[in-house]
Structure formats: C-alpha cells, structure tokens
Structure 1
Amino acid sequence: MEWVADARLAAWPEAAWYLEAVFTPGSQVGTAYDAPTTPVVVTRVEEVTSLRVPSGRLVVDAPWDDDDASRYERGQPTRPPRELAVRIPAGVHRVEVAWTAGPYEFMGEQFDGVEVAATRLRISDEPVVGWEMGLGVGEDVARLEPGDATGFGADANVGCFADAAAWTALSAPFRTFVGGSPVPRDTECLPGWCEKVRDESQQADLVTFAVELGGIVWLGRSRTGDVAAIVVTSGLADAKA
C-alpha cells in the first residue's frame, strides 16, 4: 500500500517544491538579498560527514540554548532535547549540505552570497514521494490543524543531528560557559560551518549545522512510508507564502 501523508503534517506546496529543488544543483530557489533580479542558485550538494546513530533514536534540536546553558553552568537539570517520535534504522547515515550562491551588493560592498541553504540526513537512497513535519516525542498530531507548524528553536542559529541515547555526552562540549560566555570547545570542524562530536564509548555522533533560529524538521517519505531523508532548511521552506 502506498504511503499517504497526514494532512496536518504534510508540507504545503511551496515547502515541498523547495525541499526538492534545494538538493538539485542548478535550481533557482530564490533571489539575492536586496537584489530581486539576481537569482539564488543551488551550486552543489556536498557530503560533509557521516553520523552514527546506534540507538535508532534521533535528536534534531539546538545543541544548547541560552537558558539551558545557564542551568548547566549552575549545576541544575537541563531540558530534554527534542527527540523525533519516528525511529530510523540504527547505523551510519550520510550528512549532506546544499550550497547556494546569489551575489549582491550592500552599502557599496560586493558579497558572493554563498550560503548553506539546507542540511540533509540521508537514511536511504529510496526516492522521496512526499514530505511531512517530524513530530517530537510527546507531541500530539491531534492538536495540529492543517497549516500549523511545529519544530525547534535555536538561539545561536545552530541545530544538530545526534543519537538520542548518547545526548548527554555528545552535547557536553556545547555547554561549557564561563561568566555567561562560551569557552572554546573540542569539536571537529567540517565544511558548511558544521561541527562534529564523537562518543567512542557509545559509538555515537553529533553533527551541527547552520539554521536560522531553528525550524521545521522535514521527513522525506518513500512510497512505502519509510523515512528516506530528514531535512532542516535555513528558513526559506519554513515560511508560508
């Protein structure tokens, strides 16, 4: 039986189009900042690393927020991360970023407009036939109406994919603050302004990505309903026309 999206979770047409276009090199996905005649074009899709998720439970959230960091510094309990309700196959999955370019001028200075427009966790190579919002654990689809959106927030414009079972260890480097300011963290720097944390004791990883204040977690479903991809954009696909 072919999968059919729940109307309360299904991507609206503009978002569905963007989620497909942003991972298709050569596609125009918008116009440059303050230059409506200059197209923003997908230049390439780059695999930046792999992500180990041995538990099959995935967090897609900010690795920290301001309130959480403050509680952590004071030795108080921190909030739980936003773990997706859907489970993915345990194992190693590819992390890819979509690069776009749209040159523009601002206050007399020229900018190349190169940005990461979206980040994708590839679960399988099955074609995606539809997109829906990914609910977090404990979130109730019955409370959503068609057109409502649900997602996560990111104070510092940083989100992440991480194995939920190893979250405490994986997120620890992002929770070290002195006097309210972050101290340098021991992470691996990757293309696309991503960072990676490895926990060898649990064979699990966390990978950060750029995101504007958070966003919707999009699940790309195959014909059979299996999750083939998980995508977070940098904002464009989350704004309704």
Structure 2
Amino acid sequence: MRSGPDTRLMAGPTESWYLEAVFTPGTPLGTRLDDPTTPVRAVQVTEVTTVRIPSGRLIVDSPWPDDDDPELRTRSGRELAQRIPPGAFRVEAAWTEAPYEFMGEHFDGRTVAAIRLCITDAPVTTWERALGVEDDIEMIRPGDRTGFSSEANMGSFSDAAAWPALTAPFRAFWHGCQAGNRQPRETETLVDNWFERTSDEESGADLVAFVTEGSSAVWLGRTETGEIATVSVVDECCSAFRAPPS
C-alpha cells in the first residue's frame, strides 16, 4: 500500500483547483495577469492522439537540442522518477480563450493552456509535483515548481528508452537550418499544426510534441489508491491569472 504523500510535493489549493478547472469547459479561470479586464475561460478539451510508452519510462521535456551545443547532440531529456504502466495512452489538450482587440481587430485569444497524458480514467484525488530521476527531493520546498524550460517553446511526452530516435527529426531540422537548408521536419503534424508526433517502429514508441512558452510545470494526478491517473503539463504563462473565481 502506498504511504501518505510527501507534503513537499503536494499541490496547493489554487494549483489543485486550476489543474481540474482548465480541463472543465465553461469554467471561468480569472483574468490575465497583464490585463485585469480580459477574462480567461476554459472552452474545450480535445483528444490529440495516442502515444506509445512501451518502456514505462516517461520523458516530459523539450525535444530540441540545447542551443549552446554546437554538435547538436541528443540532450538528456527530463525523465520522470515515477514509472507508468507500459502501454498506449490518450493525449488531451485543454484550450482557453481570452478575447482581446488589437489595432481595431478582434481575436479570441485561443490557446492550449495545458496538456495531459491520460493513464487511467479514474478520478484524481490529489496532485503532486513530478520529480525527475535526477531531482533531489531534499531540495524541494513547498510551493516550488518542478518541470522543464524550453527556449524553442516546445515540450513533449516521449518514451525514454527511444528518446534518441524519437528526437532525431528535430536535430536533423536544426542541422539543416544551420546549413542553410530549411526543409520541413519529418514529423506528423496534428490539430492544425499545434502538435507534432514522431514514431520509432523498431521499439514501438512515440513522441508527441506540444507548444509551450518558456517554463512549464509537470504534475502527477493520483487516484484515491495512489495510482497515477494522469500526467499534466501546465504552461506557466497561460496559468498566470490574477486569481481563481470565488
């Protein structure tokens, strides 16, 4: 039986509320931090695709090589310490809208505010920060965010064992750009180019890439029995709202 959760990893009330609310269409999420007159609302949850994780080892990180690596070698992705059952899992995106006007033109401000890997459909009862295999829990304090940053504004769910093969199209694209040969990436585009998918048939594994802005927090949603129900990624920029509604 799983012991009680470590309080250093537990989400606070506002974070727990947001992780549920952003995937509940119709929910008002407050107002944008940079514009208190602009309301933000959860509007839709869409199924993006399925991703195969046959090793049960999950990387949640940017698929791009490091900017400061002239050789563009395979970077070590942030593998989660928590293993998941080997299998194929549904990927869902939460969309929000924050209407605004710019130079006389109106926009709906639609964007992907969060994305999740659905391990089971069981209800989530607790949320906790997702530690990486190299993270030291002794360094984690209540309120700290754990996750990844991406200068390329992209994150991904990927099988860790097949990471080099699954990220190869991104490295090849970068190499081509540096050589002045900007060809389309050898990836499958999904949902009007909001997402990309790569596959490695030798291992039977996939990677699904998604748009982020800067830093992203990674959360584990656990069931009442302590099993992992979902792995959620929240765009820190999108969740920077003034306050949840009372």
Task: Work out whether residues 14 and 237 of structure 1, in 8 Å CA contact, stay in contact via their aligned partners in 2.
Answer: no
Q: Secondary structure at the match of 1:173?
A: helix
Q: Tell me the equivalent position of 2:101.
A: 105
Q: 1 or 2, which has the higher helix percentage?
A: 1
Instruction: Give 1:224 deviation, angstroms.
Output: 1.1
Q: Over residues 23-60 of structure 1, what are the superposed CA-to-partner deviations in whole Å (9 max), with x where a residue is unaligned?
A: 00110113258653342211111001000000000000
Instruction: Give 1:111 deviation, angstroms.
Output: 1.2
Q: Secondary structure at the match of 2:16?
A: helix
Task: Work out whether residues 32 and 242 of structure 2, in 8 Å CA contact, stay in contact via their aligned partners in 1.
Answer: no
Q: Secondary structure at the match of 1:29?
A: strand
- When structure 1 is superposed on structure 2, of 137-146 and 31-40 the one drifting more is 31-40
Q: Tell me the equivalent position of 1:5.
A: 5
- When structure 1 is superposed on structure 2, of 136-145 and 52-61 the one drifting more is 136-145
Q: Secondary structure at the match of 2:15?
A: helix
- Structure 2, unmatched stretches of 5+, are none
Structure 1 runs (4+) deviating above 6 angstroms are 238-241
Q: TM-score under structure 2 normalisation?
A: 0.88
Q: Tell me the equivalent position of 2:28.
A: 28
Distance 1:70 1:238, change over 3 A: farther
Task: Work out whether residues 128 and 223 of structure 1, in 8 Å CA contact, stay in contact via their aligned partners in 2.
Answer: yes
Give the aligned residue type for 1:219.
Answer: L
Q: Secondary structure at the match of 1:51?
A: strand
Matches within 5 A, 1:119-158: 119-158=115-154
Task: Work out whether residues 134 and 217 of structure 1, in 8 Å CA contact, stay in contact via their aligned partners in 2.
Answer: yes
Q: TM-score under structure 1 normalisation?
A: 0.90
Q: Secondary structure at the match of 1:202?
A: coil
Instruction: Give 1:119 deviation, angstroms.
Output: 0.4
Alignment root-mean-square deviation, CA:
2.3
Task: Work out whether residues 60 and 78 of structure 2, in 8 Å CA contact, stay in contact via their aligned partners in 1.
Answer: yes
Task: Work out whether residues 30 and 242 of structure 2, in 8 Å CA contact, stay in contact via their aligned partners in 1.
Answer: no
Q: Tell me the equivalent position of 1:210.
A: 211
Question: In structure 1, how many angstroms separate the alpha carbons of the residues matched to 2:185 and 2:232?
Answer: 26
From 178, 185, 194, give the equivalent of 2:176: 178
Question: In structure 1, how many angstroms separate the alpha carbons of the residues matched to 2:38 and 2:145?
Answer: 30
- When structure 1 is superposed on structure 2, of 228-237 and 112-121 the one drifting more is 228-237
Q: Tell me the equivalent position of 1:159.
A: 155
Q: Over residues 1-41 of structure 1, what are the superposed CA-to-partner deviations in whole Å (9 max), with x where a residue is unaligned?
A: 67643111111222111100000011011325865334221
